[in-house]
Structure 1
Amino acid sequence: MSLRHAILTLLETEPASGYDIIRHFKQSLGYFWNAKHQQVYQELRRLSDEGWLLCSEQAQSDKPDRKVYSISPSGRAELRRWLAEPAPPNKINDALLVKLYAGALAEPDNLRAELARHRATHRATLDSLQEIERQYLALEPQEQARQRLPYLTLRRGILGEQAWLAWAEEVEAELAARAGQPHAEPVGK
């Protein structure tokens, strides 16, 4: 998936400024797609140049005018074209997995500390996703039905974080055994 299609997807639902789009990435799409501030603004410029976005300016009292983007008919056509294409399987590059693969060369305590840092991050992400899920489950049934597909992307994130934390328990047990120390209690339990 390209950043441009993620932006077109967000703008399909409602017009937004660059700031709004970045906020959506952090709140809505951040558990499966990330983009840096600068990347979003560069891509907005490209999409506008290609005619896939429309831009209007809103005056602000003590700030520069706010640019609000919306998807153009040709942008909507591009989004539909992209949606019809098969998506390639996701591939990962994970430095922690490389370190574990070469773990026989490392100190078990160093690997345990690294794993603990990652576990804390994944636990925090899971907590955040579960809070979004609670908000979804509190919606009226009609709104839940309208938001069902975005909710299913959220469920993928939740299940992925739960699986990662379960896997980390297996790794922790092995690292504890290698260090000759008892297995530590899982983070967040």
Structure 2
Amino acid sequence: MSTPHAILIALLEKPSSGYDLARRFDRAIGYFWHATHQQIYRELGRMVESGWVSVVEDETAAATRKKVYCVLPVGREEVARWARETALGPDSRNVFLLKLRADAVIGPLGLADELRRLMDENHVRLALYREIEQRDFGATSLTRGQQLQYAILKAGIHTQEMWLAWAEEVRPLVESSAQ
């Protein structure tokens, strides 16, 4: 559902051809939001039909007839609407990153409450993981299978701790845009 919005955000940052956009996804955006080249081209066609983007031929590349996609005002409004209205679930951190990217290019979108809610949910999940750790892995000797299960749980604990530390760092930026 958010792939078209990821594409719109990338185009707001820099109007691009489909090829250049796909390369940007491969090099940067794709580290937190994946889209295949085929998906990108398919979505670009849909966005043109929806009136979210326009296509202009790059005059500097007349020999190749390169098409450059530019976001129209209605596309910009769609990104803002999506960022404000799309509810996030417990595993929606990458969608929130995409919303932050939209905030960076469009301007303040009022994401502070959403960040606080995500932080609260992650604190609850971390507490649950810590309870499981105490309950199931407090023994001095664990079988190999238990050690592997504990390693998986520790990955979850570290992920929650790291995400919460990052959220604390970004919170002042998000909250300052709410004022």
Q: TM-score normalised to the size of structure 2?
A: 0.48
TM-score by length of 1: 0.46
